[in-house]
Amino acid sequence: MKSKFSHVLMLLGAVLAFVPIIAVDYLLDAYVQYREKAEAQRYVESISSHINSSAMDGVAALRQVIAASPSLCTATFVTNAQEAIEGGLNLKQFLVENLDGVQYCDAYGRVVDYSPLSQPLPVPGLTETMAVVKLGEMDMPALKLSQTFGETRRVSTFVPLLGQSESALNDTLPDAAMMRVTLTNGLSIVTLGDPTGFDRRQSSADYISAQGYAGQFPIKVEYALPFAMARSGYADLDVAFTFIACLASAVFLILNLSYVRRSRVPAFDLERAIERNEIKPYYQPVINLRTGELVGCEVLCRWEKRNGQVIPPGAFIDYAEVTGLAIPMTVSLMQQVRNDLGDLSRTLPNMKISINLFEGHFRDVGIVEDVQAIFGQSPISFRQLVFEITERRPLTNSMTTTSVISGLHALGARLAMDDAGTGHSNLAYLATLGVDVIKIDRIFVDMIKPGTTQVPVLDGLIAMAKDLDCEIVAEGVETEEQALYLRSRGVLHAQGYIFAPALKVGAFKELALALNSASNPQPRLEVVASAAA
Ligand code: MN
């Protein structure tokens, strides 16, 4: 379960690692939107504030000229008007006319050539009115700002809407962009570029747009740029963003992998666990069914993590075997067994110690050297050692297999066939391997139910083992019936829960001493050994 969870995590992490790359487009879009929107707003602001300030300049000049002139169309008035035009940047003309548009006088003594493009409009907050007009030959419309004088007359000044000509303004616009000045009643005054796309847009995301007003004047300024055009200006940044995103993805992937590596998934830190001796030997007693004495033990293992968690071998043994970690793991276990059971072996020199080997051990003669190096100078003698090999995965009958077995035999150790009866072995196979002990698998022992008088398969297995002159150990003995049945069939040694589970070294030693020191153990064990032989 745990490792499945970690695989899901790893997969999720790998998918997440590509999010930056996928997100590049999205991020860049958002960035372009943000940058260009601000740019558009600035542009609109500059146009609308220009209109506002020139219109306000016109209003101020108009008021000043009227205030400084006791009556209209006098020499003083004309002088004041001319001075105002020369002193202002944007003023073009002053004009006095009646309410029907009949001209009385102007700053230069000629007819003012203009035509209205809009009705005069009130300006909120001002007494002046505003109209859009075409003035003379100017291609850019002008604003006519007017103040009524008395009952019948009107004084006006003219200011161009924008300081530049239409073509000069057009040059400042990006390709495909649109800029439009309209009255707030909808009348269009100036349009640069083509506004039809913008007016028919499907979604506001298609355009980058901004709008603003010329102060209190009823004039609206709009600007719009198709998003795709704006985005195309960021091609270089696209490359840079993608590059950064790839880097981010790579970093994320590496972090993810190292997280998984460091996480407490058994598969990933078994190697370190072995180095730290976290794989601990546990000892399951093997009992003499006739005397009740302890004749030996099988070394099993548990992974004792530093956090106190204890993992049974089922969770990591297969992984250990597949990865080859079974070999250093067995070395570590044997070293710990030597340290654990050295003292006990001085007291019980005939105690057998059974160690499980893997198929991989029989493909490399190194195991013989390891056994020799570890137990050579220890109180545990080679003849106490039994090496178990499972029948579930048959050994190849190769030169190396044979030399490992004969090497172990030469030291004085013995070989046991583990899980006997469950594999595909036959008499010939067992005979060629040179097996000394047969460990009958628990499934055959389980066949002994209360009241059973005969278990043909088990009986056959026992008979076969005797024929081969092998010692027999029954595994998984859990009930008294089973123990009695086995004893009645001449099986002398057994292990299982009825006697003890796999024990930590302390508990195992106590049990071993309790079972064997009551009377003088030596002669009795000798009896057991000869009976088994
Ligand atoms: Mn075993």
pLDDT tens per residue, range 98-123: 988 899 999 888 888 999 999 999 99
355 CA distance to ligand 1 middle (Å): 7
Decide: 349 and 529 in contact? Cβ < 8 Å. no
> How many whole angstroms separate alpha carbon 336 and alpha carbon 524?
29
β-strands 385-390, 352-357 pairing: parallel
> How many whole angstroms separate alpha carbon 523 and alpha carbon 533?
15
352 CA distance to ligand 1 middle (Å): 13
State the DSSP code for 422. Answer: S
Q: Of the candidates 125, 123, 127, 124, which has an alpha carbon nearest to the alpha carbon of residue 143?
A: 123
303 CA distance to ligand 1 middle (Å): 17
Both 209 and 220 in one domain: the answer is yes
> How many whole angstroms separate alpha carbon 142 and alpha carbon 161?
5
Both 288 and 311 in one domain: the answer is yes
> How many whole angstroms separate alpha carbon 102 and alpha carbon 187?
26
> How many whole angstroms separate alpha carbon 293 and alpha carbon 283?
15
Residue 251: which domain range?
1-264
Task: Give the residue carrying structure tokens 């059974």.
Answer: 354
Decide: 208 and 225 in contact? Cβ < 8 Å. yes
User: Per-residue pLDDT averaged across 170-191, rounded?
Assistant: 89
411 CA distance to ligand 1 middle (Å): 21
350 CA distance to ligand 1 middle (Å): 19
Both 133 and 163 in one domain: the answer is yes
Q: What is the pLDDT of residues 141-159, one digit of tens each?
A: 999 999 998 888 999 999 9
- What is the total residue count of the chain? 533
Query: How would DSSP label each residue in 19-49?
Result: HHHHHHHHHHHHHHHHHHHHHHHHHHHHHHH
208 CA distance to ligand 1 middle (Å): 76
Both 166 and 298 in one domain: the answer is no
Spatial neighbors of 46 by CB under 8 A, at least 6 apart, are none
The CA angle 420-423-429, to the nearest 5 degrees, is 80
pLDDT at 428: 59
Chain centroid to CA 281: how far?
38
Both 175 and 33 in one domain: the answer is yes
441 CA distance to ligand 1 middle (Å): 9
Q: Say what percent of the chain tops pLDDT 70.
A: 92
Decide: 44 and 223 in contact? Cβ < 8 Å. yes
Is the per-residue pLDDT at 74 higher than 50? yes
Task: Give the residue carrying structure tokens 């999205």.
Answer: 26
pLDDT at 529: 38
37 CA distance to ligand 1 middle (Å): 75
pLDDT at 26: 85
421 CA distance to ligand 1 middle (Å): 13
Most confident of the following: 7-21, 105-119, 224-238, 495-509: 495-509
Query: Which of 29-33, 76-80, 231-235, 458-462 has the lowest average pLDDT?
Result: 231-235
299 CA distance to ligand 1 middle (Å): 8
420 CA distance to ligand 1 middle (Å): 10
Query: Which of 86-90, 150-154, 200-204, 524-528 has the lowest average pLDDT?
Result: 524-528
467 CA distance to ligand 1 middle (Å): 22
417 CA distance to ligand 1 middle (Å): 9
Q: Of the candidates 253, 244, 252, 305, which has an alpha carbon nearest to the alpha carbon of residue 277?
A: 305
Q: Which long-range contacts (CB under 8 A, 24 or more apart) does 260-265 make?
A: 260/6, 260/9, 260/10, 260/13, 263/6, 263/9, 264/305, 264/307, 265/2, 265/3, 265/6
Kindly list the distances between the CA atom of residue 436 and the CA atoms of 46, 221, 312, 388, 417, in Å, as whole numbers in the listed order.
101, 102, 28, 10, 8
> How many whole angstroms separate alpha carbon 260 and alpha carbon 223?
53
Is the per-residue pLDDT at 323 higher than 80? yes
Distance, first Cα to last Cα, the chain: 46
> How many whole angstroms separate alpha carbon 367 and alpha carbon 387?
11
Residue 274 is inside which H or E element, if any? helix 266-275
394 CA distance to ligand 1 middle (Å): 15
437 CA distance to ligand 1 middle (Å): 12
User: Per-residue pLDDT averaged across 87-99, rounded?
Assistant: 88
Q: Of the candidates 161, 96, 164, 168, which has an alpha carbon nearest to the alpha carbon of residue 135?
A: 161
Both 445 and 355 in one domain: the answer is yes
425 CA distance to ligand 1 middle (Å): 17
Higher pLDDT, 204 or 8: 204
Decide: 218 and 185 in contact? Cβ < 8 Å. yes
pLDDT at 2: 46
Query: Which of 84-98, 243-257, 307-321, 456-470 has the lowest average pLDDT?
Result: 243-257
Both 425 and 473 in one domain: the answer is yes
Both 488 and 510 in one domain: the answer is yes
Both 321 and 201 in one domain: the answer is no
46 CA distance to ligand 1 middle (Å): 89
356 CA distance to ligand 1 middle (Å): 6
Supply the angle between the helices 326-347 and 505-516 in degrees, to the nearest 10.
30
User: CA torsion sign, 386 to 389 to 391 to 397?
Assistant: negative
377 CA distance to ligand 1 middle (Å): 26
- Tokens standing for residue 243: 């590059």
State pTM to two decimals. Answer: 0.52
Spatial neighbors of 315 by CB under 8 A, at least 6 apart, are 266, 303
Q: What integer best gives the mean pLDDT of the chain? A: 87
300 CA distance to ligand 1 middle (Å): 8
195 CA distance to ligand 1 middle (Å): 86
pLDDT at 518: 56
521 CA distance to ligand 1 middle (Å): 26
User: Per-residue pLDDT averaged across 124-131, rounded?
Assistant: 92
> How many whole angstroms separate alpha carbon 147 and alpha carbon 286?
120
pLDDT at 239: 84
298 CA distance to ligand 1 middle (Å): 7
Both 435 and 291 in one domain: the answer is yes
Tally of structural domains, the chain: 2
251 CA distance to ligand 1 middle (Å): 46
Q: 203, 233, 264 — which closes off a domain?
A: 264
Q: 214, 240, 264 — which closes off a domain?
A: 264
pLDDT at 421: 78
Both 210 and 298 in one domain: the answer is no
388 CA distance to ligand 1 middle (Å): 6
Spatial neighbors of 168 by CB under 8 A, at least 6 apart, are none
pLDDT at 483: 94
Q: 264, 287, 319 — which closes off a domain?
A: 264
Both 427 and 356 in one domain: the answer is yes
479 CA distance to ligand 1 middle (Å): 20
418 CA distance to ligand 1 middle (Å): 5
Q: Which domain CATH number covers 449? A: 3.20.20.450
447 CA distance to ligand 1 middle (Å): 20
User: Per-residue pLDDT averaged across 471-481, rounded?
Assistant: 94
83 CA distance to ligand 1 middle (Å): 116
User: Per-residue pLDDT averaged across 202-207, rounded?
Assistant: 87
531 CA distance to ligand 1 middle (Å): 23
Q: What is the pLDDT of residues 16-35, one digit of tens each?
A: 777 877 788 888 888 889 99
525 CA distance to ligand 1 middle (Å): 22
469 CA distance to ligand 1 middle (Å): 20
